Amino acid sequence: MLNQRLCKPQQNKVRNIRWLALGVGSLLLLTGCFQKEALISGEDSSGLVVAEEVVPAVESKEQVIPLKAGDMYQILVAEMMALKGFEAQAFDIIFKLAYKIRSPDLAERAFQLSMKTYDAQKIEVATSLWREISPNVTTPWRASFLIALRQNDVKKALSDWERYRGLSKIPLEQDLLLAAQKVGASSPSEPGLVFMKALVKKYPDTWASYFSMGLVADAFNQFDVALDALEKARARQTEDSESKIHQFLAKLYLQNPPAERGISELEGYLKKYPKDWLVQERMARLEVQASRYDAATVRYNLILNAEPNAYTSRLSLALVQIEQKNFKQAEKNLLKVEDQKGYSDVVNYYLGLINQEMKATDKALSYFERVKLGPYYVDAQLHQAEMHFSKEAPDHAFEILNRIEGKQVRDILKVHRAKAIFYSELSQPERAIEAYNEILALAPNHMGALMNQAMLFYDLKQLDSYVANLKRVIEIDPNEADALNALGYHYAERNENLAEAEVLLQRAYELNPESYYILDSVGWLYFQKGQYALAKTYLQKALDIQMDDEVLIHMIRTHWQLGEREQARALWQKNHKDFLQNETLQGLIKALESTNLESPAN
């Protein structure tokens, strides 16, 4: 009777039913009557639909379809399920009803529920049904071209875009930008870029098409494509779009070095618009990347004079001042940010670093102890352990390390690394090796752990393990110069595998020709091979870069082998007093004079 009374012909208007966040109270408003109407697009959790367009109501040419009591009951059940979080089950019920009754409102509701299921198949069938029932509504067509891109069907996506644009009341520029945001978030990279290139070709005269291409390319980490598109957008910029384009350019340059390129490109814009504080802030960060600390300091102060509550800029300025060792000024800026919501941990962490640098240990420990959560917590604990270790309280240091509950692998690795360093300092190499084994169990290719552990193996004369670690490092990175040098020198020092040693050391030399210790290794290799003149050439280059006691020993021995005894004595006489701790060097001339070895060992 209720249905019949509300749907009598004498009633001038039939209530429109909106299926947006229906609660139990609104369920009581169900009348059992449906009328075609316009749809207001709603933002959904999947990123397919945007809430920017309101379309005027369209008169329905279909007759109002009365609901049966059973249909009403199913709708009630479905909405109760949705309220309790069972969107997939609710969708199944509403979709079947929408398909049977051909109701625009139910089709829209089925679409909304499909979005909350995150089920691609449900979203696709709901979109198709809504589009079929309401062919003049924009939202399903917008969803359609995004679904087509997810399915790698660019041709269909372009066709659906055309249909969407024919219905859309949004200006073209805004539509392009909205499309780019959604494509970048939900489409595979290849079809997404092809789709955007087609839109650029279709709309070649608007800055927004190139800007949108840049947005998508940036989302897919294709910097060169993004930058090229933004340059073309800048060539077509309007007064309203100029700031938007340059703000995006500044973001791109920040993410993609070299920083000097971005600085050069943005200077002209900032002369024209010095109060664009977003670009000013990004320019300051570029200057920090380029190690232009003085320029960055001036720029951050400019921003803060205009925007005293720009707390991120004040924090960034403090970090620059820490880099410049201007600890007092950095501390003042950090204290101005300390009480701001969300900044407590980072501020206390850097206040701890400052006081640690200034040897104010107790104050530094106090700040580090205030870091309770977040990404700075583990590092704050590590600094506390380091300071207690330096205060000759290793037990307390290890106690701190043992209570750290690292949730991320990188944090667990930091803790094991700290233990390895402490054990090494305590002359407990076996325990340090075990700590590095813990690192390698989690990260088998951890180069630092492999190299540091190799040095411990060398000190313990576990040379097979030493060689194995170095070979593993070279296998991971054939261009790791220090590992190439260490293994090559090991062979040269032992006068074995000299052909392999030469390959290793020449590669290390090619990678780092100004390294005095690599030059020394190459020189010593040629000494062992009896090529003394060639050895002298490399060793002299090494000494010209760094007067090192081991290099000095090698050069004196080379002079001696070449019959240049006076040069050997003069070189020793001039430099041996600078290395009194090296007993081999102090007694070298006497040792050479008392023996007549053709290839003396080091």
Q: In CATH, what number is assigned to the domain containing residue 106?
A: 1.25.40.10
Which of 90-104, 198-212, 475-489, 537-551 shows the lowest per-residue confidence on average (mean pLDDT)?
Answer: 90-104
Spatial distance between the Cα atoms of 592 and 600, rounded to a whole number of angstroms: 8
- Backbone CA torsion sign across 229, 231, 237, 239: positive
In 172-292, where does DSSP find H-type helix?
Answer: 172-186, 189-202, 207-219, 223-235, 242-255, 259-272, 277-289
* pLDDT over threshold 70, residue 258: yes
Mean of the pLDDT values across residues 412-440?
Answer: 96
In whole numbers, what is the pLDDT of the chain averaged over residues?
87
Q: Which residue has the higher pLDDT, 363 or 64?
A: 363
Mean of the pLDDT values across residues 422-441?
Answer: 96
- Evaluate whether residue 471 is within a structural domain: no
Q: What is the pLDDT confidence band of residue 371, given thresholds at 50, 70 and 90?
A: very high
Q: What is the pLDDT confidence band of residue 66, given thresholds at 50, 70 and 90?
A: low
Size (the chain), residues? 602
For 6, the domain range is 1-170
Q: From 485, 531, 476, select the one nearest 507 (Cα to Cα).
A: 485
* pLDDT over threshold 90, residue 16: no
In this predicted structure, what is the pLDDT of residue 70?
A: 81
Structure confidence by residue, pLDDT tens digits, 122-164: 999 999 999 999 999 999 999 999 999 999 999 999 999 999 9
- Evaluate whether residue 40 is within a structural domain: yes
Which of 170, 187, 212 is a domain's end point?
170
Structure confidence by residue, pLDDT tens digits, 303-344: 999 999 999 999 999 999 999 999 999 999 999 998 888 899
Peptide bond into 104 cis (omega under 30): no
CA 364 to each of CA 390, 396, 405: distance values in angstroms, whole numbers, following the listed order: 13, 16, 22
In this predicted structure, what is the pLDDT of residue 596?
A: 58
In this predicted structure, what is the pLDDT of residue 229?
A: 96
CA 164 to each of CA 168, 225, 345: distance values in angstroms, whole numbers, following the listed order: 6, 27, 48
Residue 26, Cβ density class (10 Å: 0-12 exposed, 13-18 middle, ≥19 buried): middle
- Evaluate whether residue 425 is within a structural domain: no
In this predicted structure, what is the pLDDT of residue 406?
A: 77
Spatial distance between the Cα atoms of 265 and 227, rounded to a whole number of angstroms: 12
Spatial distance between the Cα atoms of 106 and 133, rounded to a whole number of angstroms: 10
Task: Please give the share of the chain, as a percent, with pLDDT higher than 90.
Answer: 82
Structure confidence by residue, pLDDT tens digits, 450-473: 999 999 999 999 999 999 999 999
- Evaluate whether residue 135 is within a structural domain: yes
* pLDDT over threshold 60, residue 562: yes
* pLDDT over threshold 70, residue 376: yes
- Mention every residue, 6+ apart, whose C-beta is less than 8 A from residue 6: 14, 15, 31, 32, 33
- Evaluate whether residue 335 is within a structural domain: no
Spatial distance between the Cα atoms of 133 and 105, rounded to a whole number of angstroms: 10
Is the distance from CB of 454 to CB of 470 less than 8 angstroms? Answer: yes
Spatial distance between the Cα atoms of 350 and 379, rounded to a whole number of angstroms: 11
Is the distance from CB of 314 to CB of 302 less than 8 angstroms? Answer: no
* pLDDT over threshold 80, residue 17: no
- Evaluate whether residue 348 is within a structural domain: no
Spatial distance between the Cα atoms of 246 and 28, rounded to a whole number of angstroms: 53
Q: How many domains does the chain have?
A: 2
Is the distance from CB of 296 to CB of 264 less than 8 angstroms? Answer: no
In this predicted structure, what is the pLDDT of residue 68?
A: 77
Structure confidence by residue, pLDDT tens digits, 513-557: 999 999 999 999 999 999 999 999 999 999 999 999 999 999 999
Q: Which residue has the higher pLDDT, 463 or 22?
A: 463
Which of 154, 170, 186 is a domain's end point?
170
Which of 145, 170, 195 is a domain's end point?
170
Task: Please give the share of the chain, as a percent, with pLDDT higher than 70.
Answer: 88
Q: From 174, 181, 170, 185, select the one nearest 207 (Cα to Cα).
A: 174
- Evaluate whether residue 28 is within a structural domain: yes
Q: What is the pLDDT confidence band of residue 435, given thresholds at 50, 70 and 90?
A: very high
In this predicted structure, what is the pLDDT of residue 217?
A: 96
- Backbone CA torsion sign across 550, 551, 555, 558: positive
Is the distance from CB of 129 to CB of 92 less than 8 angstroms? Answer: no
In this predicted structure, what is the pLDDT of residue 452?
A: 97
Structure confidence by residue, pLDDT tens digits, 24-60: 333 322 333 333 332 223 333 333 333 333 333 333 3
- Evaluate whether residue 15 is within a structural domain: yes
